[in-house]
Chains A and B, each alone.
Chain A
Amino acid sequence: MTTPSTATVRTGIRPISVGRRVKDRVVQVLICLAFVLALIPLASVLWMVVKNGMQRFDLEFLTHSMRNIGARDVGGGAYHAIIGTLQQVLLASLIAVPIGLLTAIYLVEYGNGGRLARTIGFFVDVMTGVPSVVSGLFVLAFWILVLGMPFSGFAGALALSILMMPVVVRSAEEMLRLVPRELREASYALGVPKWRTVVKVVLPTAFTGIATGVMLAVARVAGETAPLLLTVFFTDSINNDPFNGPQMGLPLYVFDQAGRPTDAAIDRAWSGALTLILIVMLLNLVARLIGWWRSPARKGS
C-alpha cells in the first residue's frame, strides 16, 4: 500500500486546478446573468399586460361586443373578437394540421430523401420565411379579388393556415424522426404493413411531441394581425358565421382599440391582449394535459 500523495504522483490523478475552478464559477455566473437578462422583457411584458388588462377584464368584457358603443363610451367588450379568433384558429388548424402532418409523414416515412422529398422540404423552408402580411395579401388577391369571395373569418383562416403549415410540418417531422427505427422494425417483423405501422406505432409514440408542436403553431398564428387585417376586415358586431361577412379577431381588436384616442379604448386593448395570452396559455395547458393523460408514466403508476 502507498500513501495517497505518492499514489497521486504515480497515477497522475490530480485535484481540479484553481484556474479551472475559477473558470467554472465565472461561466456559471455569466449563464445565470444571461438567463435573468432574457427573463426581464418576458416578465415585464407579462406584468404590463396583466396590470393594465385587469382594469377591464370583467364579465361584460367577455360577453359583449362593441356594437353601439360610441367613440368615447366606456363599457363594451371583445366577445365578437374572441368568437372570431377561436373560429379562425380552429378552421386554420383544421386545414393546416392534416396537411402538415401528412407532409411530415411523407417526408420521414416515405420520402427517403428523394428528389420530391427534398423539393418539398425546400418549399416548406420557403414557406417558413413568408412574412405574415404576404400570406394575407395572397388570400386577398386570390380568394377575395380573383375568386370574388367575401371578406370572412374563413378567408382569415386560409391566411393563417399558410403560416401554420410549415411550423406543423417541421415540428412533426422532428418528432417523427425521434421515434427509434427499432420500433418500426419491431412492427414490420410482426408482419404489420408499413402504413399500419405508421398509424398504430409511430404516430402514437410521437403524439405528445406532435401535439406540443401543433400548439406552438396555434400560438404563433393566434396573435397574427396583418393577415387578418386584409382578409376578415373589421366589425364591431358579433358574426357567428365564419364563412360570411367581416369578422373580428383579438389581435385586430387590440390593434383597433389601441388606435382610438380614449382611455376606455386603451383599457379595452390591454384587456384584449390579456385575453389573447390567456387563450393561448389555456390551449397549451390542454395540449399538456392530453400529453400527460396519454403518457406511459401515468398508465404505469
Chain B
Amino acid sequence: MVAVAREEGVLGTMAKQIEVSDLDAYYGSHKAIEGITMTIEPRSVTAFIGPSGCGKSTFLRTLNRMHEVIPGARVEGKVRLEDQDLYGPDVDPVSVRRTIGMVFQRPNPFPTMSIFDNVAAGLRLNGRVSRSELDGVVETSLKGANLWNEVKDRLNKPGAGLSGGQQQRLCIARAIAVRPEVLLMDEPCSALDPISTLAIEDLIAQLKKDYTIVIVTHNMQQAARVSDRTAFFNLAAQGRPGKLIEMDDTSKIFTNPAEKATEDYITGRFG
C-alpha cells in the first residue's frame, strides 16, 4: 500500500546511511559552506547546531538536492545514500526528494487544500492512487504525526485553519505520507510555543524508530534532548564559508567537546 513512492524511486529500500564527503555549496559566487565531510547514521537523530548564518540550512538542503532549486545555487562534492551518489550524473533529483523528505522552519501547508488533501498531496501529485488507499495513508500519517485525534473530525477543513503547532505536525504528516527513508527538519520548532515544541520533540523520538532524522536547531537543550549525534558548525568570520567543526555523540559534545569553539558555543560564550 505505502510502497508506491519507494518502489518508483531509483534508490532501493531499507535503512539508509548518508555519507557526505568534501562538500561545498554556493549561492552564485558566494561559497556558503566548505569542505564538509560527515556520516549520518540510519535510524537515529542527528542534530546540527551553530550560530546563525553558518550554513546549517544550506547544508541540510544539499542532502536532498533542495539547494539547487534556488537560482544560481550549486553544490560540489559527494553525498551518498548507502552506495548511491545523490549527485551522480543520471540521478533524478525528484526521486531523491521523494526518498529524503523535508520539514521547513515555518509551517507551510498548501493554503488551497484541506487537511486531508495536504497529507495526500505527495501521493496524489506523484500519480494516481485510489481513494481507499489514500484514506489509509492519510490516517496512518496523521497518527504518525500525533495529529489524528485533533483533526479526524475535520479532515476536509483547510489546513491553514490549524494552530501553528498543528500546522507543523500536519507538515510532518505530509512529509511521512510519501514514506521517505530520511527526514530532514530545519528548525521545525522555532515558530512554535513550548507545548507544541514538546509535542514535536516526542514525535521525533517516535519517528526515529523508522527514519533517519536530521534536525537543525537553535535550541541547545533541544539538541541535547532529542538527538543521538550532534554536529557543530561555525564560520571563521562574517562572509566566510561555514565549516563543520566537530561531530560526535550528543552526550560527548555537550559534556566534553574536543574543540574549544564548540565548548565556547554551548556554554554560551558566543553565538
Q: Which residues of chain A are near B108, meaning CB under 8 Å? A: 180, 182-183, 185-186
Q: Take A296-B158, A300-B158 as given contacts and tell me if A189 and B97 are in contact as well, using a CB distance cutoff of 8 Å.
A: yes
Q: Which residues of chain A are near B95, meaning CB under 8 Å? A: 191
Q: Does B175 contact A (CB under 8 A)?
A: yes
Name B126's contact: one of A113, A182, A192, A299 (CB within 8 Å).
A192
Give chain B's interface residue range (CB within 8 Å of chain A).
Answer: 35 or more
Closest Cβ of chain B to A196, distance in Å, is 5
Name B110's contact: one of A189, A193, A205, A207 (CB within 8 Å).
A205
Q: Take A188-B97, A189-B66, A191-B5 as given contacts and tell me if A300 and B157 are in contact as well, using a CB distance cutoff of 8 Å.
A: yes
Asked if B121 and A187 sit within 8 Å, CB to CB, the answer is yes
Residues 145-174 of B at the A interface (beta carbon under 8 Å): 156-158, 160-161, 171, 174
Asked if B94 and A189 sit within 8 Å, CB to CB, the answer is no
Closest A residue to B184 by CB, please name it. Answer: A189
Closest A residue to B154 by CB, please name it. Answer: A300
Asked if A201 and B110 sit within 8 Å, CB to CB, the answer is yes
Closest Cβ of chain A to B28, distance in Å, is 12
Residues 175-217 of B at the A interface (beta carbon under 8 Å): 175, 178
Asked if B97 and A186 sit within 8 Å, CB to CB, the answer is no
**Mask for A219-242, Cβ within 8 A of B = 1, else 0?**
000000000000000000000000
Residues 145-186 of A at the B interface (beta carbon under 8 Å): 180, 182-186
**Mask for B115-153, Cβ within 8 A of A = 1, else 0?**
000000110011000000000000000000000000000
Asked if B178 and A191 sit within 8 Å, CB to CB, the answer is yes
Mostly, the A contact residues are helix
Asked if A187 and B125 sit within 8 Å, CB to CB, the answer is yes
Q: Which residues of chain A are near B96, meaning CB under 8 Å? A: 191
Q: Which residues of chain A are near B175, meaning CB under 8 Å? A: 189-190
Asked if B112 and A296 sit within 8 Å, CB to CB, the answer is yes
Q: List 16 A-B contacts (CB under 8 A).
A: A185-B66, A187-B110, A187-B121, A190-B121, A190-B122, A190-B126, A190-B175, A191-B96, A191-B98, A191-B122, A192-B121, A192-B122, A196-B125, A205-B110, A205-B111, A299-B114
Q: In whole angstroms, how far apart are the Cα atoms of A112 and B158 in the complex? A: 32
**Mask for A106-136, Cβ within 8 A of B = 1, else 0?**
0000001100000000000000000000000
Q: In whole angstroms, how far apart are the Cα atoms of A296 and B96 in the complex? A: 32
Name B125's contact: one of A113, A200, A299 (CB within 8 Å).
A200
